[in-house]
């Protein structure tokens, strides 16, 4: 049996512990298995030359290379965080994930790393999981995915997703079990003091941390904005739709999301524009109109603010095959 090539995708703001957690447990497994076992070839890879993880920790990275399994760690996600803007800045990593899976290789996300897989278009039609704390948000963003919020690890046709943080060890033990055998996995778990019998997140769910029932208001506003993406933004009309004053709408939406409805709409429009730039041959002007901007210059400036690139430059870098 040849060594299993495992690559961990490092990117700006990723959790350093989730970059090294899986490699460290695989190293322990190799010690347990002994020198005659083929083991694992592990590398920390990135499309960037330099990467600073969460907290500013500098990571030493290698260029992207072909691996059998690509592990995508999670990142800091807190209420009020502009997830769309953060993901837009990770376009090189999302393109790398897409390219890796297009070659028929397996990919694994740790915790909210699932949102990067979602941006790469890998979750539609699949059973997936993530941290119970963010499962509803993943389901909202990926309505075609079957989000199993109680599962610890879910694998569906080469795509594996895991629950939060320590679930990386549940995945790693399963990987060791498949590649090195049950005995090696069991002993590795004992050496590392890792539970090798977990299957559910349910014991860890704290209802006090889940979105408040009132958060459904902001979700309904978001759905309305998504449904009328190309329409002119009209705060008064939006407020009337929900039978509240403009002041009440702004206050409730802001309390629940940390943003204004307009800020959410702009990020949603950019997300849609990115998809159209990547997957269609429509003109930039046509895409601008499709996402609600008659003035292409205004659209281009907003797009650059969110992604760091002008629309044409973004398309040149991340266009997928069309046709």
| Averaged pLDDT for residues 146-150 | 91
What pLDDT is recorded for position 85?
Answer: 85
What pLDDT is recorded for position 178?
Answer: 94
Q: CA–CA distance from 220 to each of 63, 223, 256 (Å)?
A: 43, 5, 12
| pLDDT(75) > 90 | yes
C-alpha 177/C-alpha 191 separation (Å) is 15
C-alpha 314/C-alpha 306 separation (Å) is 11
User: Sign of torsion, CA 254 260 264 265?
Assistant: positive
C-alpha 142/C-alpha 122 separation (Å) is 10
C-alpha 110/C-alpha 256 separation (Å) is 26
pLDDT band at 79 (very low <50, low <70, confident <90, very high): low
Please state whether the predicted TM-score (pTM) of the whole model is above 0.85. no
The backbone torsions φ and ψ at residue 169, rounded to the nearest 5 degrees and listed phi first, read -75, -35
C-alpha 70/C-alpha 92 separation (Å) is 15
Percent of the chain with pLDDT over 90: 71
Quote the mean pLDDT of the chain. 91
User: Sign of torsion, CA 114 115 121 125?
Assistant: positive
What pLDDT is recorded for position 322?
Answer: 47
36-53 pLDDT tens trace: 888 999 999 999 999 999
| pLDDT(215) > 70 | no
Percent of the chain with pLDDT over 70: 95
| pLDDT(211) > 70 | no
- Exposure string for 188-215, b = 16+ CB within 10 A, e = fewer: bbeebebebebeebeebeeeeeeeeeeb
DSSP annotation of 121 reads T
Helix axes 311-318 and 261-279, enclosed angle (nearest 10): 50
Q: What angle do CA 85, 90, 94 make, to 5 degrees?
A: 125
C-alpha 69/C-alpha 250 separation (Å) is 45
Lowest mean pLDDT of 104-113, 152-161, 180-189, 298-307, name the range. 298-307
Nearest to 130 by CA among 105, 108, 97: 108
| pLDDT(320) > 70 | no
């Amino acid at each position: 049996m040849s060594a299993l090539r495992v690559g961990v995708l490092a990117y700006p703001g990723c959790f350093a512990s989730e970059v090294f957690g899986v490699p460290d447990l695989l190293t322990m497994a190799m010690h347990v298995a002994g020198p005659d076992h083929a083991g694992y070839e592990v590398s920390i890879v990135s499309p960037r030359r330099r990467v600073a993880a969460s907290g500013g920790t500098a990571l030493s990275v290698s260029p992207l290379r072909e691996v059998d399994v690509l592990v995508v760690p999670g990142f800091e996600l807190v209420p009020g965080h502009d997830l769309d803007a953060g993901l837009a800045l990770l376009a090189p990593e999302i393109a790398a994930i897409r390219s890796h899976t297009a070659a028929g290789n397996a990919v694994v996300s740790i915790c909210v790393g699932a949102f990067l897989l979602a941006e790469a278009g890998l979750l539609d039609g699949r059973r997936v999981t993530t941290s119970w704390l963010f499962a509803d948000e993943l389901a909202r963003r990926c309505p075609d995915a079957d989000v199993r919020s109680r599962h610890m690890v879910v694998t569906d046709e080469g795509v594996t997703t895991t629950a939060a943080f320590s679930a990386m060890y549940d995945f790693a033990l399963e990987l060791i079990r498949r590649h090195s055998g049950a005995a090696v996995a069991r002993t590795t778990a004992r050496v590392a003091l890792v539970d090798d019998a977990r299957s559910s997140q349910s014991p860890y769910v704290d209802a006090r941390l889940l979105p408040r029932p009132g958060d459904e208001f902001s979700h309904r506003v978001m759905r309305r904005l998504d449904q009328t993406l190309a329409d002119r933004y009209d705060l008064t009309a939006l407020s009337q739709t929900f039978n509240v004053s403009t002041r009440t709408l702004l206050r409730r939406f802001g309390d629940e999301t940390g943003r204004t409805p307009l800020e959410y709409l702009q990020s949603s429009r950019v997300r849609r524009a990115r998809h159209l730039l990547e997957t269609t041959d429509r003109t930039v002007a046509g895409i601008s109109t499709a996402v609600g901007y008659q003035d292409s210059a205004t659209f281009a400036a907003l797009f650059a603010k969110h992604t760091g690139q002008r629309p044409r430059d973004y398309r040149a870098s991340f266009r997928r095959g069309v046709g």
